[in-house]
Chain A
């Protein structure tokens, strides 16, 4: 069931459409990430949900209630918890007062406030820091205080805008899992903004990829990774190789087609979408470095086996990373670490048709 519905949301700043007629649904209790490059409109979308920004068109519906079209519901009345990118922990208040702020505004009895704050601080490992000012906390601790403050009032919705981007790499990794398990446990519907695809993969139930104000694809991390809808998504999520070409022949009954590639050889490819499968169509084939199989000897009569020359070879511990050329097309390949071939030597790449994704 959709808990948050974003309907035809449109917001422009000057002449730039920051959010360009976006439709999106967030299910009850799920964690959805808005993922995309800098400036694609993630923050603006999130701020519209929060009510910190008023859209030019469209509506946001939370738990069946319209936030804009039937009179503007101010942020303070939306029962939303929000974690800001720079934490926005109030420097003049102690940790306790920061977290208790929203509860005090609800005029809860002192005892209840104390209990709730203590519980929340405990679940975030902040017990004992109640009396400190934010200036006396590390970045990671401030981040947890911001999270505690957002969660303490049991909000209907939790919004997080790149909450981990100011932390160091190690802490960031740890916090991803912590946030995920905490939010899961509380069952709060969450929208999480990030431009880090690894973070999005770890944290979300579903990912919504944005580009220049539009949502390009929505799906589980696996769907997004394995079946990217556009070249942009394939490129943005993880690392991939693109081979351009033209459709030569469609083998409908086998669910496959032949592409005449830029390096002049025929290549077999799975048909993802019948609409695309007509001859002479120009296409991109995406294949990930780890999906490419390597042979040191040629095999007669086998499809999709191409001779390639190693240009660069980098040792990354548990595997090798190769830059190889098929003709003059550069392909990145992940190879087993015990591969003997050196730079300048030849090998054979098998591009499994099942793993090749055909994109417009």
Chain B
């Protein structure tokens, strides 16, 4: 899967970083979109489109190109396909950051030495990008260890997280399965953390970038020839279409009923939405309340934590940084399970709704701290010192100077935090009780029951719309939708 994402991501990153193309920004925004879409939404959409009775098969049958439905998607290849698409942005972002940051003179030097185009790319450009690539690759590589839902949707259960989920989901009936589940959770957590630490070491030991400071320039931009330009467009558009399929298909299913056996729906209706709003407004309310509460805690805890890590020398700050970083690698399922176990009986917390936002908060905190930390690093210390020299104490300085200047960066972090919390399922699914269902849980349950695909799709579509609106707000403030996507990648890493 890492391989697939890399093979597809490499040319894409190069195109984005180096070629001057019209409409690049828009296409880039589309290509990077999956970063904020939940993986399960994509999985649903692709099943509808590429499935055995999906649009593509039916179209091909009608055209007489095939006689039997082709299995495009069910099975391992489908899983790899959808996860690769979902994770593509991470690779693209990290690589294109690498491409952009390379000091042009390094490549020019190789050119002068006589290294031709492709050779130069292999011997100079790529090695220089290794640290960036690794940063993205870890996320991609670890993903299958944490995502249990997507394999399940594709009927693949031979993945550690999926096994854990199934086992734990049935733990009420069978104690033995519960322990099996816990064991597999522990195994995948350990794998994740070990991998994460190794790669972190590796990335740090391989940083060449510090040699020439991060160029603020655009890097090396090439005016591509007609041939290259054409194929770049084809390639980008193709991937953009795949991405756009997700909301389109979900939208179609959302507004229709009993869509089956026809390429596009035949019966249009708003019933699905009516159902959502009439019967379960609680889902929406829960989603907003939980994410909102988690967000408030995130701000209240994350900002001071970032401050401590960046600006003070207190003992234990390395430990704090380390723990928070480590939480990044911790699979959501592990958070859910450990909370479940920790608070199940005896401690009344698990019976209070507060546990839901608490788990969301814990899960997403590291991203927020990272983002706040990054913004802090960009804030020149002397701005704060100047305020102290003017007679303001530390707190005053923070309120008057640091906070307003951090706000933009932090705001992007806040919205990203909210989006992530909003679509969170892998932790929440273990903890929810009747009445605490969130939108993603609703989607999952409706899908699980099999019959209500329209409702699940409508919910997913609705969620995408909400995410989209939030993204728009971010891009207004953060400058370009790419900036928004960047924010999230900075946050995730």
Chain A contacts to B: CB under 8 angstroms: 50, 52, 74-77, 79-82, 84-86, 88-92, 101-102, 105-106, 146, 149-150, 153
With A76-B392, A86-B380: A52-B385 Cβ-Cβ less than 8 Å: yes
With A90-B401, A91-B405, A92-B405: A102-B385 Cβ-Cβ less than 8 Å: no
Choose one: A84, A88, A90, A105; the contact of B396 (CB below 8 Å).
A105
A101 to B401, CA, bound (A): 11
Q: Which residues of B contact A74 (CB under 8 A)?
A: 388, 393
Please determine whether A75 and B385 come into contact, CB atoms closer than 8 angstroms: yes
Q: Which residues of A contact B380 (CB under 8 A)?
A: 86, 88
Please determine whether B391 and A84 come into contact, CB atoms closer than 8 angstroms: no
Please determine whether A82 and B386 come into contact, CB atoms closer than 8 angstroms: yes
A86 to B404, CA, bound (A): 20
Q: Which residues of B contact A80 (CB under 8 A)?
A: 389
Chain B residue with Cβ nearest A75:
B388
Contact mask for chain B residues 66-106; partner A; CB cutoff 8 A; 1 contact, 0 none? 00000000000000000000000000000000000000000
A74 CB, nearest partner CB in chain B, Å: 7
A50 to B401, CA, bound (A): 19
Please determine whether B382 and A105 come into contact, CB atoms closer than 8 angstroms: no
A206 to B387, CA, bound (A): 29
User: In this assembly, does B383 line the interface, its C-beta being within 8 Å of a C-beta of chain A?
Assistant: yes
Q: Which residues of A contact B391 (CB under 8 A)?
A: 76-77, 79, 102, 105-106, 153
Please determine whether B404 and A92 come into contact, CB atoms closer than 8 angstroms: yes
Q: Which residues of B contact A92 (CB under 8 A)?
A: 404-405
Chain A residue with Cβ nearest B404:
A92
User: In this assembly, does B173 line the interface, its C-beta being within 8 Å of a C-beta of chain A?
Assistant: no
A11 CB, nearest partner CB in chain B, Å: 14
Chain B interface size, under 10 / 10 to 19 / 20 to 34 / 35 or more: 10 to 19
> Of B389, B393, B396, which is in contact with the most chain A CB atoms at under 10 Å from its CB?
B389
Please determine whether A84 and B382 come into contact, CB atoms closer than 8 angstroms: yes
Chain A residue with Cβ nearest B387:
A101
Q: Which residues of B contact A90 (CB under 8 A)?
A: 383, 386-387, 401, 405
User: In this assembly, does B390 line the interface, its C-beta being within 8 Å of a C-beta of chain A?
Assistant: yes
What number of A-B contacts does a CB cutoff of 8 Å give? 61
Please determine whether B390 and A88 come into contact, CB atoms closer than 8 angstroms: no
Chain B residue with Cβ nearest A85:
B382
Q: Which residues of B contact A82 (CB under 8 A)?
A: 385-386, 389
Please determine whether A88 and B383 come into contact, CB atoms closer than 8 angstroms: yes
A251 to B389, CA, bound (A): 57
A102 to B400, CA, bound (A): 12
> Of B380, B386, B404, which is in contact with the most chain A CB atoms at under 10 Å from its CB?
B386
Q: Which residues of A contact B382 (CB under 8 A)?
A: 84-86, 88
Q: Which residues of B contact A88 (CB under 8 A)?
A: 380, 382-383, 385-386
B405 CB, nearest partner CB in chain A, Å: 6
Chain A residue with Cβ nearest B396:
A105
> Of A75, A85, A102, which is in contact with the most chain B CB atoms at under 10 Å from its CB?
A75
A153 to B390, CA, bound (A): 8
Please determine whether B389 and A150 come into contact, CB atoms closer than 8 angstroms: yes
Please determine whether A75 and B404 come into contact, CB atoms closer than 8 angstroms: no
Q: Which residues of B contact A79 (CB under 8 A)?
A: 391
A146 to B392, CA, bound (A): 16
A86 to B386, CA, bound (A): 11
> Of A84, A89, A146, A153, which is in contact with the most chain B CB atoms at under 10 Å from its CB?
A84
Q: Which residues of A contact B383 (CB under 8 A)?
A: 88, 90
Chain B residue with Cβ nearest A52:
B385
CB-CB contacts below 8 Å: B250-274 with A = none
19 further A-B contacts with Cβ under 8 Å, apart from A81-B389, A102-B390, are: A52-B388, A74-B393, A75-B385, A75-B388, A75-B389, A76-B390, A79-B391, A82-B385, A88-B380, A89-B386, A90-B386, A92-B405, A102-B391, A105-B396, A106-B391, A149-B386, A150-B389, A153-B390, A153-B391
Contact mask for chain B residues 363-386; partner A; CB cutoff 8 A; 1 contact, 0 none? 000000000000000001011011
Q: Which residues of A contact B401 (CB under 8 A)?
A: 90
A243 CB, nearest partner CB in chain B, Å: 42
Please determine whether B390 and A105 come into contact, CB atoms closer than 8 angstroms: yes
Please determine whether A76 and B405 come into contact, CB atoms closer than 8 angstroms: no
Please determine whether B389 and A76 come into contact, CB atoms closer than 8 angstroms: yes
A136 to B404, CA, bound (A): 19
A81 to B393, CA, bound (A): 15
A216 to B404, CA, bound (A): 44
With A74-B393, A92-B404: A84-B385 Cβ-Cβ less than 8 Å: yes
Q: Which residues of A contact B392 (CB under 8 A)?
A: 76, 101-102, 105
Q: Which residues of A contact B386 (CB under 8 A)?
A: 82, 84, 88-90, 146, 149
A22 to B436, CA, bound (A): 66
**5 residue pairs A–B, Cβ–Cβ below 8 Å:** A52-B389, A90-B383, A90-B386, A92-B404, A101-B392
A96 CB, nearest partner CB in chain B, Å: 14
Contact mask for chain B residues 404-420; partner A; CB cutoff 8 A; 1 contact, 0 none? 11000000000000000
Q: Which residues of B contact A77 (CB under 8 A)?
A: 391
Q: Which residues of A contact B400 (CB under 8 A)?
A: 101
A72 CB, nearest partner CB in chain B, Å: 13
A283 to B387, CA, bound (A): 51
A50 to B182, CA, bound (A): 57
B231 CB, nearest partner CB in chain A, Å: 41
